[in-house]
Chain A
Amino acid sequence: MAEIRLKNVSKRWHNFVGVDNLSLDIADREFLVLLGPSGCGKTTTMRMIAGLEDISEGEIWLGDRLVNKLEPKDRDISMVFQSYGLYPNMTVYENIRFPLRVRKVPKELHHEKVMQAAKMVELTDFLERRPAALSGGQRQRVALGRAIVRQPTAFLMDEPLSNLDAKLRVSTRAQIKNLQHTLKVTTIYVTHDQIEAMTLADRVVVMNKGVVQQVGTPTDIYDNPANTFVASFIGSPAMNLVNGNIAYGTFVAKGIEVKGLQKNVNGAVTLGFRAEDASLVSEGGQLGAEVYSMELLGEATMASFKIGDHLVSIKSGKEYRAEIGDTIHAKIPASICHLFDAQTGGRLARVAAN
């Protein structure tokens, strides 16, 4: 068990930059999630930590060991692969036992350790089967069992849930969270699913095009996105973003006008707010537009409007009904609004409005 430190780590293939100058301190026992769209460098980062990918520049420290030049086997980590990477010629029992066997753990301990791990991932009934005779969820649990059978410095998980169906994903997610809590091992988890990131992580690292966009707790990232990329990536639906102009604390775009914003910025900005923070009203409000579509979500109703090129969604109570084409108003108080630089997309810090 140890902390992991990445110092100015970069990965390049010829001219292509996979990961650009990434620095990260991961605390002992922390559950860190690397989040981003496909091709953002999150898996590459994890593979560099595992030793499966060379590091072009920078240093990776596991505890007090510089591991840049170490083989994967000498880094003492365990990893769960997206496609599980189970050994098809071995039974579940042998699969879970394999790390003990190759690491020359004394033979007497094998059975106990394998059974313990199998119990944790609820596989005791399937130990004699081969991976081919297992369902996707069971295979996934074998991979987990193989990862936890020895006590590694860190767990690395590369989108372990992406091949499971929606229902199984929820239960396995809970299982992973619980396992990590029980075993208290530093865990790095790669995903493109922001819900997984929000539910599992102690801290989330949002990446895009090889560059870290924001590092923070899930709440932090949800409530205070560092830029428009993070804002548009996190949350379901993502944060509403509207391009417009601000002058003397008043933001104006077609069909929308918000007063009482900070006065220190003027000119083109992007206004952001969460669908659930705004509310639909019959009269007045800061937004008035025709309904573009209505979606019933069960626990709520979602009304969308077309503001310029952007689709703006606003959540309302589950009883709320309106027809497409009706003109509706919405209340968007200044307190729920975030401002972003129109050019760079960076967050414009909120200053005390006076």
Chain B
Amino acid sequence: MTPSARKQPLPLAIISTGFVILWVVLAAFPFIWTVWGSFKVEQDFFSRDTFWDAIYGVRTIAQTGSAFTSDGYYGAWITRDFLSSVINTLIVTVSVVVISLTFGTLGGYALARSGHRYTFWILMAALVFRAMPHITLVSGYLLPFFEMNIWGYLPTAIIVLVAINQPFTLWMLHSFFLSIPKDLDESAMVDGCSRFQAFRLVVIPVMWPGVITTGLFSFLLAYNDFATTAMLLSQPNQTMVPKIASFLGTVQQEGNVMFAVAAVVSATAPLFVLVMFFQRQIVSGLTAGAVKG
């Protein structure tokens, strides 16, 4: 600990530090527990006798000869081909992020700079659609998708996810664009840019933190979505989350729950890397000093 410049009274320091530690433990425990458990057999991790089984791995030792086993990972990745759903997830999330950001930046910029009154109503409509449960969109689309024979394919799920996500990206980018002074695009236009050049050369470079933040939220939505992907994708096209759910749904087969646990850990790890990698971009404020100081 570095010596703090502002001195806190000792009891307050103890209480606040204790609270932070407690919070970290509470927040991190489920994940740490899952990671630990993913290396055990089901009879240990889901033991009916005592949770100490999960810690010592009594049956894991009995069954495999070691306190840790990677059977869950082997089953999920090799036996049940988790890799294909990882690739599907990659395709879906990247497509959703790219499409959402393309329409979101263009639309958000247009809405932020337009002087017309209907922009307010467009944003209101977006808010309403944002508030709707995702499943409403899915159930409405399901029959037409069957009739058009496009059910089960990745592009179909991507379109629906973009539709769910777009109102949110529009709102978020719209408010980011509002925070960028109008003088910036106007001076670019006087300097010789067309409206689109001003957008591309001047506004977007200043907008990176906003674009990245919005992109991250879009990514998380697509990555974590269950309702849409579970309903709209056929078995071979499943993304990770419905795949994990299908591991859980077939508990009559021993070991499948552990496949799910191992898959969950596999699916969570990239998120940590992502957030850590982008946290600087999310926090940084490039706009500082754009206008008068």
- Chain A residues in the interface with B (C-beta under 8 A): 50-52, 71-73, 77-79, 81-89, 98-99, 102-103, 130-136, 139, 143, 146, 156, 163
Shortest CB distance B120–A (Å):
16
User: Do B181 and A85 touch across chains, with their CB atoms under 8 A apart?
Assistant: yes
User: Do B288 and A85 touch across chains, with their CB atoms under 8 A apart?
Assistant: no
- In Å, the complex CA distance between A134 and B287 comes to 14
Interface assignment of B106: CB less than 8 Å from any CB of chain A: no
Total B residues in contact with A, Cβ cutoff 8 Å: 26
Q: Find B193's partner among A86, A102, A163 (CB 8 Å cutoff).
A: A102
Given known contacts A79-B187, A81-B186, is B292 in contact with A131 (CB within 8 Å)? Answer: no
- In Å, the complex CA distance between A200 and B177 comes to 37
- In Å, the complex CA distance between A98 and B186 comes to 13
Name the A residues within 8 Å of B206 (CB-CB): 87-89
Shortest CB distance A78–B (Å):
6
User: Do B286 and A84 touch across chains, with their CB atoms under 8 A apart?
Assistant: no
Interface assignment of B147: CB less than 8 Å from any CB of chain A: no
Q: Which residue of B lies closest to A102 (CB)?
A: B192
User: Do A73 and B193 touch across chains, with their CB atoms under 8 A apart?
Assistant: yes
Name the B residues within 8 Å of A143 (CB-CB): 187
- In Å, the complex CA distance between A78 and B186 comes to 11
Name the A residues within 8 Å of B201 (CB-CB): 102
Name the B residues within 8 Å of A103 (CB-CB): 191-192
User: Do B190 and A72 touch across chains, with their CB atoms under 8 A apart?
Assistant: yes
Interface assignment of B49: CB less than 8 Å from any CB of chain A: no
User: Do B186 and A52 touch across chains, with their CB atoms under 8 A apart?
Assistant: yes
Q: Which residue of A lies closest to B183 (CB)?
A: A85
Given known contacts A86-B290, A139-B293, is B191 in contact with A78 (CB within 8 Å)? Answer: yes
- Chain B residues in the interface with A (C-beta under 8 A): 181, 183-184, 186-195, 197, 201-202, 205-206, 286-293
User: Do B197 and A102 touch across chains, with their CB atoms under 8 A apart?
Assistant: yes
- In Å, the complex CA distance between A139 and B288 comes to 13
User: Do B190 and A50 touch across chains, with their CB atoms under 8 A apart?
Assistant: yes
Q: Which residue of A lies closest to B186 (CB)?
A: A52
Additional 14 contacts, C-beta under 8 A, given A132-B288, A136-B293: A50-B190, A72-B186, A72-B190, A73-B192, A85-B181, A85-B188, A88-B206, A88-B288, A88-B289, A89-B206, A98-B191, A99-B192, A102-B188, A139-B292
User: Do A89 and B205 touch across chains, with their CB atoms under 8 A apart?
Assistant: yes
User: Do A136 and B286 touch across chains, with their CB atoms under 8 A apart?
Assistant: no
Most B Cβ at <10 Å: residue of A73, A79, A85, A163: A85
Name the A residues within 8 Å of B192 (CB-CB): 73, 99, 102-103
Q: Which residue of A lies closest to B185 (CB)?
A: A85
- In Å, the complex CA distance between A134 and B290 comes to 11
Q: Find A52's partner among B190, B291, B292 (CB 8 Å cutoff).
A: B190
A and B contact pairs by CB, cutoff 8 A, 21 listed: A71-B195, A72-B189, A73-B192, A73-B193, A81-B186, A83-B181, A83-B291, A85-B181, A85-B291, A87-B188, A87-B206, A88-B289, A89-B205, A98-B188, A102-B188, A102-B191, A132-B290, A133-B289, A134-B293, A136-B293, A139-B292
Name the A residues within 8 Å of B289 (CB-CB): 88, 130-134
Name the A residues within 8 Å of B191 (CB-CB): 73, 78, 98-99, 102-103, 146
Name the A residues within 8 Å of B190 (CB-CB): 50-52, 72-73, 77-79, 156
User: Do A85 and B193 touch across chains, with their CB atoms under 8 A apart?
Assistant: no
10 closest A-B pairs by beta carbon, nearest first, are: A132-B289, A85-B187, A85-B183, A99-B191, A88-B290, A83-B291, A103-B192, A102-B192, A72-B189, A89-B205
- In Å, the complex CA distance between A103 and B197 comes to 11
Most A Cβ at <10 Å: residue of B190, B193, B287, B292: B190
Most A Cβ at <10 Å: residue of B183, B192, B201, B205: B192
User: Do A73 and B189 touch across chains, with their CB atoms under 8 A apart?
Assistant: yes
Most A Cβ at <10 Å: residue of B187, B202, B286, B291: B187
User: Do A84 and B291 touch across chains, with their CB atoms under 8 A apart?
Assistant: yes
- In Å, the complex CA distance between A37 and B288 comes to 30
Name the B residues within 8 Å of A134 (CB-CB): 289, 293
- In Å, the complex CA distance between A86 and B202 comes to 10
Q: Which residue of B lies closest to A136 (CB)?
A: B293
Shortest CB distance A195–B (Å):
21
Q: Find B286's partner among A81, A89, A99, A156 (CB 8 Å cutoff).
A: A89
Q: Find B189's partner among A71, A130, A146 (CB 8 Å cutoff).
A: A71
Shortest CB distance B167–A (Å):
29
- In Å, the complex CA distance between A98 and B289 comes to 18
- In Å, the complex CA distance between A103 and B183 comes to 19
- In Å, the complex CA distance between A77 and B190 comes to 7
User: Do A83 and B292 touch across chains, with their CB atoms under 8 A apart?
Assistant: yes
Shortest CB distance A86–B (Å):
7
- In Å, the complex CA distance between A102 and B190 comes to 11
User: Do A52 and B293 touch across chains, with their CB atoms under 8 A apart?
Assistant: no
Most B Cβ at <10 Å: residue of A73, A78, A86, A146: A73
Name the A residues within 8 Å of B293 (CB-CB): 132, 134-136, 139
